[in-house]
Structure 1
Amino acid sequence: MLIDTHAHLLPYDYPADAPECFPRMEPVDGETARTLLFGQMQFKARDVFFDAERRLEAQDASGVDVEVLTPMPPLLRYDLPLADGLSLARHVNEFSATLCQTEPTRLIALGMVPMQDPDAATAELTAIQEMGLAGVEIASNILGASIGHEKFLPFFAECERLGLAVFVHAMPSPTERLPMSAMGTYVVGVEGAFAAASMVTGGTAAKCPDLRISFSHAAGGYPLMIPRHQYFWGGSWNEEPKNPERAVMPDDGPSPLEHARRFYYDSLVFDRRALTYLIDLLGADRLLVGSDFPAMPREDPAGRTLASMGLPDDVLRQITWDNAWRWLGMQPTR
């Protein structure tokens, strides 16, 4: 059994009277695909992005039992005026909920909110829950601001209160220091690390201990930096007992590793050696299967690298099935 927790959707279309800043989905002659036009972006979207029947066929072909669907990240346009951003989010959320009603035991969706206005985003969470969406997707930064900034704390506190899962997808910052050509490679690692680290260093992780939050691509470079933070916090190497005399940034709260082990991380890191490190450092109970499908092709079959690692059956089941339900806060489907 396998759940793909990092898969994307796109609405089939947008209202004819939508603002000019809205996306458009234009037909492709002779094909079932549609072209997404959004600002300077042009993206040919195969019908699997918006057709439930095609999604289920793709699941069956790759050995996926359940997908957690989130909006394609370019839809997270926090530069839009609030009214337009809220309207876009509601349209995408309604489409997502409708798509999943086709087969709710195999299609589970998260919504989106206008994070450019934290108060409006927080107020929208109740509607997301009432629509039957399991949580919310946000970008790794909000117009350059770290998600761990105190102004977003009420948003995360409300997600925690409502029991909504949060998925953080790495996205470039307006002050990007790498070219856009690096978006699919190094920007993912840098932005994921900033996002996860900010949740710890900004205090949100401590103030929202029951928040169920997952980071795309295993939060990029963050796991490699946790031991350094652990040393500054406790003055010791290799997770040995705390040495206050050496600690540079001591405090009496949970260690950086304890915070990191409350987060979830998808396993889309492309190498079994990286997966081995993640399991060893963070624990098998923190990892989820992710693919970025259909923006990227899945392994064939899904989870092939994990299955090739010789993991005990109970560990493999945790990563491919059990952990996802705990992150979602849902009972497993049959």
Structure 2
Amino acid sequence: MLADAHAHLLPRDYPADAPACFPRMEPVDGETARMLLFGSLKFKARDAFFDAERRIDEMAASGVDFEVLSPMPPLLRYDLPVADGLALARHVNEFTATLCATDPSRFAGLGMVPLQDPDVATAELTAVRDAGLRGVEIASNVLGVSIGDERFLPFFAEAERLGLSVFVHAMPSLSDRLPASTMGTYVVGLEGALAAASLITGGTAAKCPDLRVSFSHAAGGFGLMVPRAQYFWSGTWNEEPPVPERALQHDDGPSPLEYARRFYYDSMVFDVRAVRYLVDLLGADRLLVGSDFPAMPREDPAGRTLRMAGLPEDALADVLWGNAFRFLGMEPPVS
């Protein structure tokens, strides 16, 4: 079995009376694709984004048995007025729930909330759960503010209380330190690392120990950042026992690496050497299959690089499908 925990969807249409700031999906002459227009964004979305039958056909062609569907990240527009952001989230969530209901043995859905207003986003989580969605997708920052900021703690605490999963997708911040052409490459690595680190340093990981959270693209550079944090926590290399003097500088709570091993990470890192490192550092029980499908083509076949990593059979099964269902807090579907 293979479960893709990082796949996206787009609604086929939006209400005719939607606010002007809403996205639009326009027909493409002679094609089944539709054109997404959202502010300055213009994106040609092929039918697999919104057609369940087409998705199932493409899943079968690439060897995928199950997909965790989340909104295409550009829909996470935290600059919208809160009321419009809530209306957009509800429309997208309804579409996601409807698409997933076409075949619950193949699909599970993650919704979205207007995190620009943490109180509104927190209150909306119950509706997300009641719609049958397994959690929410959020961006790695909210208008440049780290998700580990204390203003978002009630949101994460409520997600934990409701048993909802949180998928953190790397998204550009307001920084201009790298050119716009790197938004899909280097910035993804930076944003993922900052988001994961902020949940530890901001206290969310400590205060929400049962929160199920995953990061796109293995949280970027986080896997190389956290051993340095571990050293400054313990005073030792290679995760050796802390030196006594350093132990006096912090409590006996989890170390940075122990916190990092509570998170999940999708394994879309494009290199088997990176996969092996992540398994060695964080554990095979922390990795998920990810593809960004259909925004990006899947490996052919799906999971090829994971199978090249030489993992024991039980660990490979965890990465290919078991961890995805643990992240979602659900039992695998019965075939």
Q: Could you say whether these structures have the same fold, taking a TM-score greater than 0.5 normalized by the shorter chain as the test?
A: yes
Instruction: Indicate the residue corresponding to 2:145 in structure 1.
Output: 145
Deviation at 1:121, TM superposition (A): 0.1
Deviation at 1:253, TM superposition (A): 1.3
Say whether residues 1:127 and 2:116 are aligned partners: no
Q: State the 4+ residue runs in structure 1 displaced beyond 4 angstroms.
A: 246-249
d(CA) in 1 for partners of 2:6, 2:176: 24
What's the CA shift string for 1:56-114, capped at 9, x where partnerless? 00100000000000000000000000000000000000000001111111011100000
Instruction: Indicate the residue corresponding to 1:107 in structure 2.
Output: 107
What's the CA shift string for 1:192-219, capped at 9, x where partnerless? 0000000000000000000000000000
d(CA) in 2 for partners of 1:19, 1:119: 22
Say whether residues 1:251 and 2:251 are aligned partners: yes
Say whether residues 1:165 and 2:150 are aligned partners: no
d(CA) in 2 for partners of 1:249, 1:49: 51
d(CA) in 2 for partners of 1:9, 1:249: 47
TM-score (norm 1): 0.99
Greater shift in the superposed pair: 138-147 or 243-252:
243-252
Where does structure 2 lack aligned partners over 5 or more consecutive residues?
none
Contact 2:6 2:289 in 1 (8 A): yes
Q: Where does 1:137-216 land on structure 2 (aligned, <5 Å)?
A: 137-216=137-216
Q: Secondary structure at the match of 2:183?
A: helix
Q: Where does 1:4-153 land on structure 2 (aligned, <5 Å)?
A: 4-153=4-153
Q: Secondary structure at the match of 2:184?
A: helix
Q: Secondary structure at the match of 2:6?
A: strand
Q: Secondary structure at the match of 1:245?
A: helix
Instruction: Indicate the residue corresponding to 2:274 in structure 1.
Output: 274
Q: Secondary structure at the match of 2:153?
A: helix
Contact 1:78 1:143 in 2 (8 A): yes
d(CA) in 1 for partners of 2:258, 2:176: 30
Contact 2:275 2:309 in 1 (8 A): no
Deviation at 1:249, TM superposition (A): 5.7
Where does structure 1 lack aligned partners over 5 or more consecutive residues?
none
d(CA) in 2 for partners of 1:168, 1:177: 22
Q: What amino acid does structure 1 have at the position aligned with 2:63?
A: G
Instruction: Indicate the residue corresponding to 2:283 in structure 1.
Output: 283
Instruction: Indicate the residue corresponding to 1:3 in structure 2.
Output: 3
d(CA) in 2 for partners of 1:59, 1:248: 53
Q: What amino acid does structure 1 have at the position aligned with 2:250?
A: P
Q: What amino acid does structure 1 have at the position aligned with 2:166?
A: V
Contact 2:70 2:111 in 1 (8 A): yes
Deviation at 1:175, TM superposition (A): 2.4
Q: Secondary structure at the match of 2:25?
A: strand
Deviation at 1:174, TM superposition (A): 1.5
d(CA) in 2 for partners of 1:179, 1:12: 32
Q: Where does 1:254-333 land on structure 2 (aligned, <5 Å)?
A: 254-333=254-333
Q: Where does 1:214-229 land on structure 2 (aligned, <5 Å)?
A: 214-229=214-229
Deviation at 1:247, TM superposition (A): 6.5
How many residues get paired?
A: 334
d(CA) in 2 for partners of 1:310, 1:210: 31
Q: Secondary structure at the match of 2:154?
A: helix
Deviation at 1:270, TM superposition (A): 0.2
